[in-house]
């Protein structure tokens, strides 16, 4: 029992303060990069995801705006949401295929 309490005291701060921010940052980066690829692919290039640097094209409080070139620019955070949802759909599809495949 004391060993379990000691392990919890030592492991919980490492997980909360080190591993959780790393996992969140990695998830955000993978989601954003996936969104940058998926959004133009699905919309045939009519919508692109906002670049993280290079000035803010979208006014505060809006999720998208039209660029001077005529394309619709989606907010970077919403691009990340699209990317994460893409991976969720891939995971669900993989689970469905796995569960329905025969022995």
**pLDDT tens track for 45-102:** 999 999 887 666 788 888 999 988 889 999 999 999 999 999 999 999 999 999 999 7
pLDDT at residue 54, as a whole number: 66
Packing angle of the helix pair 76-100, 20-42 (nearest 10 deg): 90
**How confident is residue 17, by pLDDT bands cut at 50, 70 and 90?**
confident
C-alpha dist (Å) from residue 101 to 71, 90, 97: 42, 16, 6
Dist CA 30 CA 45 (whole Å)? 20
Q: Which helix (H) or strand (E) holds 22?
A: helix 20-42
pLDDT at residue 102, as a whole number: 76
The per-residue pLDDT for range 19-54, each reduced to its tens digit, is 899 999 999 999 999 999 999 999 999 999 998 876
- Using a 10 angstrom Cβ sphere, with 0-12 exposed, 13-18 middle and 19 or more buried, the burial of residue 34 is buried
**How confident is residue 4, by pLDDT bands cut at 50, 70 and 90?**
confident
Contact yes or no for 39/48 (Cβ under 8 A): yes
pLDDT at residue 22, as a whole number: 94
pLDDT at residue 27, as a whole number: 96
Residue 24 vs residue 11, higher pLDDT: 24
């Amino acid at each position: 029992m004391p060993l379990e309490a000691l392990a919890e005291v030592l492991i919980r701060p490492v997980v909360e303060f080190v591993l959780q921010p790393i996992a969140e940052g990695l998830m955000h980066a993978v989601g954003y990069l996936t969104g940058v690829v998926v959004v133009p692919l699905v919309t045939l290039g009519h919508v692109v995801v906002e670049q993280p640097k290079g000035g803010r094209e979208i006014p505060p409080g809006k999720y998208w705006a039209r660029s001077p070139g005529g394309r619709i620019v989606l907010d970077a955070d919403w691009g990340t949401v699209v990317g994460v949802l893409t991976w969720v759909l891939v995971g669900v599809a993989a689970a469905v295929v796995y569960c329905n495949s025969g022995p």
